[in-house]
Chain A
Amino acid sequence: MLSPHPRDPARWPRLFTLLLGLLLLAPSFPLTQFNPATLANPDSWHTMAGFVAGFFPPSLQSSFLHDVARETITTLASATAGIALAILLGAPLAFATTRALERQALAAERASASMEGVKSLLRGLMVILRGIPEIVWALLFVRAAGLGSLPAVLAIGLAYGGMLGKVYAEILESQPRELAAALHLQGASRWQCLLYGLWPQALPELLSYSVYRWECAIRASAVMGFVGAGGVGQLLDTSLKMLNGGEVSTLLLVFLLLVNLTEGLSLLSRHALERPRGGVYLLGSGIVAVVASVQWLLPGWRDSGFDLSAIPRFIHDFFLPDGSMLAELAHGTLETLAMSALGTVLAFVAAAMLAMPAAGRFGSLLKLASRLLLNLLRGVPDLLWASIAVLAVGLGPAAGVLALALHTAGVLGRLFAETLENADPAAEQALRLAGAGRVQAFSYGPLPAIFSQWVAYTLYRWENNIRIATVLGIVGAGGLGQQLYLALSLFQQHKAASLIIAMLLLSWLVEQLSRAWRQHMA
């Protein structure tokens, strides 16, 4: 029963998937006004080279460096105080909403309807808190009550509070439940079940996640200055607007140092957690850091004239949201989606090309060079890339595409290189021994496994990029964020309210879709 020409049964599904992907991607080009032909045009490369040359040499004026040092400390302090606020907000929310401490989970008891209602309300509150990106929170606080680092602290506190609440609750839910259940049956209260049954086992994971969030908060706090909320971002915004390339490159270097420093600190604290009493030391130094941060920021808050009483009036102005701008909203949402899709696809291509040398496949010199480049791409936050891209290619979504592509290429490139390094060399080695060339052995050996992992990483990162694409417009790089910035600048609060609701819906929808997809895959 040998058939003479066996046909690949997967050929039509594959072709169909490929065409569908291209079909969905094609409208992204006109929507984002991103023209790949300009990348191939030598003229634009020439302009770009001139643009990059403007960044050298870095400015080293002592008065400027003094400012930089001060604002760097403010950035660190804002992030630390913001995380402290987020923990104060997120921990009680997690305690109240986690399913790990529910009576029906610990014993076969009925849940009370009113308690369940309160929990749903709190969960909804957390969705709103984390659904609005921290930079939008900061923008709102700045517009409502005034400039300075306090909006940055509040923004990080609220957005990360919602996130920590959710993740803390999930960490508690992932712990083995027997001990808490036994305590509950002995008559222990909810608090006692937490402190004696879950706390000891969950603490390392809770601390480690908090430290990781702190690392993220520093990146976030560094760009808060773009909306007037203090820190190095504010200096950078000024230097960019004055087209002072030397100052910009100094600040970029400071950014990179800051990011690497926090990564080092975060790694150090995770190692500390593995030692006996490490948690205690970490907690202690955390409290000291928070107190010092508030001490540093406090004088600025007193002087800034931050007007809390203005906030209720500001909120009042937002009602009711403008319902007559559905077409505008749809366009903004489509533009945001197109930016994220195109940016992610470009990043995938760039990351795949950089990952090969970064995994050491073309010698150690190229490995070092590509690792440095990847660190630069990854270390500079997307919002900062966006503000540079706006200068380079002008206002609009094309700058957003470029910014997402650059930052994501750095993130994915490092992960891709890790995948390459961890791949089992046996298959490739065996093919080389059967006379295959390097490219052949790679594509018939580790490629299938590596490629599927790369695609998984990319889809995961795309989800993240949709959220980021909604805010890049704050520095002029298109999408919903640009419409929001415009509406707030023109005091069209009703319009702004509709835009924020659209952002929330988009972020919620993406979260749900990604969760459903992950469950489907698992």
Chain B
Amino acid sequence: MSLLFDNTSLELGGNTILRDIRLELASGEQAALIGPSGAGKTSLLLLAATRYRPSSGSLSVLGDNPWHLSARWLRRLRSRIGMVYQSPPLPARQRVIHAVAAGRLGQSGTLAALRRLLWPDDGAAIQDCLQRVDLADKLWQRCDQLSGGQRQRVGIARVLYQQAQLLLADEPVSALDPRLAEDTIRLLLAEASASEASLLVSLHSVELALAYFPRIIGVRDGQIMFDLPREQVHPGVVSALYADERLAESVAQPAHAAISQGLRC
């Protein structure tokens, strides 16, 4: 069993985000999460990624309850969970080789990691991962010189290099154009099957989910509305899931603090 939510709830800042989630994901299984924005898809993935601690109920990831583990074993567990983000969190000035190498930080010592920052090794394996996402020629490029689609694929290459056993992806293709989005989903599915990892992907597009995933999980208002094989997801079920969806509120970005004048004088 890769993932087991047993009556799991999540509260953040006094608000109930997820309520009584029951969910099982078998080893090697591939499933898509769909639902209106704000339904709790991201929170569910972050619970699985051990970013949040459940407020009640229990959670088991790759056979362990992460919150019963010591700090050391929690790190080991985390190094087996790979997460793909909507916009990959790659530092702007970092080079691609380091961005991909960062995937295995959980499996290496601190000093070795620092040494690799100055003198990168294991270049062949990293290039192999980049080859699988069609970016073999970008090994020494800086991340801010890549396009959005290329950055997303660097994010995937990092998870490939990590050799994770549980792959989580949070709307990995919502910033990509449709053709690239399909290619990326196909790539994720193929790589997950090849390494026998389980895959849980949240998707904005119902069409993509139905086209590629054998199992569809609908989330709404912090609860699981349905959890069905693809063949049983009828149009009626989907429109009920998205009924009177509110427009997503845009979150104001804080203005970047002005650099103080304290340098001179």
Which of A's residues lie within 8 Å of B, judged by CB? 1-11, 212-213, 215-216, 219, 378, 411, 414-415, 418, 422, 424, 426-427, 429-437, 439-441, 443-449, 452, 457, 460-461, 464
Q: What residues of chain A lie closer than 8 Å to B79, measured between beta carbons?
A: 434-435
Given contacts A5-B124, A418-B257, A448-B93, contact A435 B117 (CB under 8 A): no
Given contacts A434-B83, A464-B263, contact A4 B89 (CB under 8 A): no
Is B83 a contact of A430 with CB atoms below 8 Å?
A: yes
B123's partner among A6, A216, A414, A432 (CB-CB below 8 A) is A6
B110's partner among A6, A439, A460 (CB-CB below 8 A) is A439
Q: What residues of chain B lie closer than 8 Å to A10, measured between beta carbons?
A: 140
Is A448 a contact of B263 with CB atoms below 8 Å?
A: no
B50's partner among A213, A427, A430, A433 (CB-CB below 8 A) is A433
| Min CB–CB distance A218 → chain B (angstroms) | 10
Is A429 a contact of B92 with CB atoms below 8 Å?
A: no
Q: What residues of chain A lie closer than 8 Å to B263, measured between beta carbons?
A: 411, 415, 457, 460-461, 464
Given contacts A415-B260, A434-B79, A435-B105, contact A440 B113 (CB under 8 A): yes
Q: Is B102 an interface residue (CB 8 A)?
A: yes
**Bound Cα distance from A427 to B154, whole angstroms:** 13
Nearest B-chain residue to A411, judged by Cβ: B262
| Min CB–CB distance B42 → chain A (angstroms) | 13
Q: Is B186 an interface residue (CB 8 A)?
A: no
| Chain B residues numbered 129-161 whose CB sits less than 8 Å from any CB in chain A | 131, 136, 139-140
B226-264 interface mask toward A, CB cutoff 8 Å, 1 = contact, 0 = none? 000000000000000000000000000000110111111
| Most chain B beta carbons < 10 A, residue from A430, A435, A436 | A435
**Bound Cα distance from A6 to B256, whole angstroms:** 38
**Chain B contact patch, size range:** 35 or more
| Contacts A/B (CB < 8 Å), 20 sampled | A4-B124, A6-B123, A8-B97, A8-B119, A215-B265, A414-B262, A418-B257, A433-B49, A434-B103, A435-B75, A435-B78, A436-B75, A436-B102, A436-B105, A437-B110, A439-B113, A444-B91, A444-B94, A444-B102, A461-B263
| Most chain A beta carbons < 10 A, residue from B51, B76, B77, B263 | B263
Nearest A-chain residue to B158, judged by Cβ: A434
| Min CB–CB distance A406 → chain B (angstroms) | 16
Q: What residues of chain B lie closer than 8 Å to A5, measured between beta carbons?
A: 123-124
Given contacts A219-B265, A434-B78, A461-B263, contact A440 B105 (CB under 8 A): yes
Given contacts A6-B139, A440-B113, A457-B263, contact A433 B78 (CB under 8 A): yes
Is B107 a contact of A427 with CB atoms below 8 Å?
A: no
Q: Is B128 an interface residue (CB 8 A)?
A: yes
10 other contacts beyond A445-B89, A448-B98, with CB at 8 A cut-off? A213-B265, A430-B85, A434-B162, A435-B79, A437-B105, A440-B105, A444-B102, A444-B117, A447-B117, A449-B92
Q: What residues of chain B lie closer than 8 Å to A445, measured between beta carbons?
A: 89, 91, 102
Q: Is B32 an interface residue (CB 8 A)?
A: no
Is B105 a contact of A422 with CB atoms below 8 Å?
A: no
Is B77 a contact of A435 with CB atoms below 8 Å?
A: yes
Report the 6 A-B pairs with minimum CB-CB distance, sorted nearest first.
A435-B106, A435-B79, A436-B105, A216-B265, A435-B78, A426-B89
A422's partner among B131, B256, B264 (CB-CB below 8 A) is B256
Q: What residues of chain B lie closer than 8 Å to A7, measured between beta carbons?
A: 123
Is B140 a contact of A8 with CB atoms below 8 Å?
A: yes
| Min CB–CB distance B147 → chain A (angstroms) | 19
Is A448 a contact of B91 with CB atoms below 8 Å?
A: yes
Is B128 a contact of A2 with CB atoms below 8 Å?
A: yes
Given contacts A212-B261, A433-B81, A452-B93, contact A2 B124 (CB under 8 A): yes
Q: What residues of chain A lie closer than 8 Å to B81, measured between beta carbons?
A: 433-435
**Bound Cα distance from A8 to B113, whole angstroms:** 16
Q: Is B17 an interface residue (CB 8 A)?
A: no
Nearest B-chain residue to A464, judged by Cβ: B264
Is A444 a contact of B260 with CB atoms below 8 Å?
A: no
Q: Is B211 an interface residue (CB 8 A)?
A: no
| Min CB–CB distance B169 → chain A (angstroms) | 13
Q: What residues of chain B lie closer than 8 Å to A426, measured between beta carbons?
A: 85, 89
Q: What residues of chain A lie closer than 8 Å to B260, measured between beta carbons?
A: 414-415, 418
Q: Is B90 an interface residue (CB 8 A)?
A: yes
Given contacts A418-B260, A440-B110, A464-B264, contact A8 B120 (CB under 8 A): yes
